[in-house]
Amino acid sequence: MNGSRSRGGTLSPEALARYEHDGFFFPLDVLDPEQVAAMRTQLEDFEERYESHPAVGHGAFRTSCHLFLPFLDNLIRHLAILGPVASILGEDLLVWGTSFFTKEPQSADYVAWHQDLNYWGLDARDEVTAWVALSQASVESGCMRFVPASHIKEAAHADRPARGAMLSRGQELIKAVDDHQAVNAPLLPGQMSLHHGLTFHASMPNRSDDRRIGFAIRYIKPSMRQAGGERGVATLVQGEDRCQNFELAPRPQSVAAPEDIAMWQRAVKIQDQINFRDMKNPTDGEGH
Ligand SMILES: O=C(O)CCC(=O)C(=O)O
């Protein structure tokens, strides 16, 4: 952490140079222990209360639930996240989507090596993911892993759905990644990593006795467009949207309010259409 941020919460020049060279940077502090414990409690209360809700129950909430959960709407606007992200993308910031990657204790769930931007139908590369740990992300619990300097160009992927594969299509880089190149990115609860949308990344199963909960926030420049003519839904979290390439979502007012759920359903439907656009047998995955 030392020296990674300069005053005002932006990334220091050294940290920015590291990010630009490697395609990722960690760790950065976002929430203190009390704040992250409070956030986890709110999340787990919601999970329990809404488990069998017809729209958001059974894990369906995991994609872009910042659109109907005010405590997550607050998190995507947290200055300790926006400062570093703005150092990379500039002052005007949209959130294109969010995803929970939750691995239950001792679960075999894993994320295969992949690049994000391959699947999201965006017309440029001005995207950064802030991956916020809401529990301990250690090597044992299956923290994120990155391949340095892999964000330079797009690589070919295949759909290989498998038991435990967490990505919606089971997408995976075709060319095997040399494990020796991988850098583990352990995070304490309340810390985040940043990664570029083309950085190769993956994660292993959770061999710990706690849940591994990661909340991935996808920030883009407003100049990005949804290729293929769709006008997706995004959230303006800082600065101005001079491009109007996306329908801007309002801030959610209360947990799972019907009008916010309607907006969320529209956003997720468009993202699913994009994610699964050229897939032969789409499943109802989570759109990661
Ligand atoms: O949480 C993980 O293990 C993977 C997350 C991921 O693939 C992403 O944030 O793009």
- For the domain that residue 187 is a member of, what is the CATH number? 2.60.120.620
Residue (of 194, 240, 245) closest to 91 by Cα position: 240
Supply the pLDDT for residue 170.
87
pLDDT tens per residue across span 138-184: 999 999 999 999 999 999 999 988 899 999 888 899 999 999 999 99
The residue type found at 129 is T
Assigned domain for 205 exists: yes
pLDDT over threshold 90, residue 91 = yes
Supply the pLDDT for residue 280.
60
The residue type found at 30 is V
Assigned domain for 287 exists: no
How many angstroms is it from 204 CA to the middle of ligand 1? Answer: 11
How many angstroms is it from 129 CA to the middle of ligand 1? Answer: 9
Supply the pLDDT for residue 281.
55
Assigned domain for 210 exists: yes
Q: Quick check: 216 and 129 in contact, CB under 8 A?
A: yes
Q: Quick check: 197 and 127 in contact, CB under 8 A?
A: yes
Assigned domain for 1 exists: no
pLDDT over threshold 70, residue 48 = yes
Rounded to whole angstroms, the Cα distance separating 128 from 143 reads 18
pLDDT confidence bin for 2, thresholds 50/70/90: very low
pLDDT over threshold 60, residue 1 = no
Q: Quick check: 220 and 119 in contact, CB under 8 A?
A: no
pLDDT confidence bin for 130, thresholds 50/70/90: very high
> Given ligand 1 and candidates 24, 98, 201, which is best to mutate, with the most ligand atoms within 8 Å of its CB?
201
Supply the pLDDT for residue 169.
87
What total number of domains does the chain contain? Answer: 1
Measure Cα distances from 93 to 80, 275, 280 in Å: 14, 22, 34
Measure Cα distances from 153 to 166, 194, 274 in Å: 24, 18, 21
How many angstroms is it from 201 CA to the middle of ligand 1? Answer: 7
Which residue CA neighbors atom 9 of ligand 1 most closely?
A: 216
Assigned domain for 2 exists: no
Quick one: which atom of ligand 1 is closest to the CA of 99? 9
Residue percentage of the chain with pLDDT more than 70: 94
Alpha helices in the chain (DSSP H): 13-22, 33-49, 70-76, 79-89, 258-275
3-state secondary structure of 252: coil
The residue type found at 71 is F
Assigned domain for 225 exists: yes
How many angstroms is it from 206 CA to the middle of ligand 1? Answer: 13
Assigned domain for 249 exists: yes
Supply the pLDDT for residue 203.
98
pLDDT over threshold 50, residue 263 = yes
258 cis-preceded (ω within 30 degrees of 0) = no
Assigned domain for 12 exists: no
Q: Kindly list the protein residues whose Cβ atom lies closer than 6 A to any atom of ligand 1.
A: 101, 111, 116, 129, 131, 144, 201, 203, 214, 216
How many angstroms is it from 101 CA to the middle of ligand 1? Answer: 6
Residue 68: which domain range? Answer: 23-275
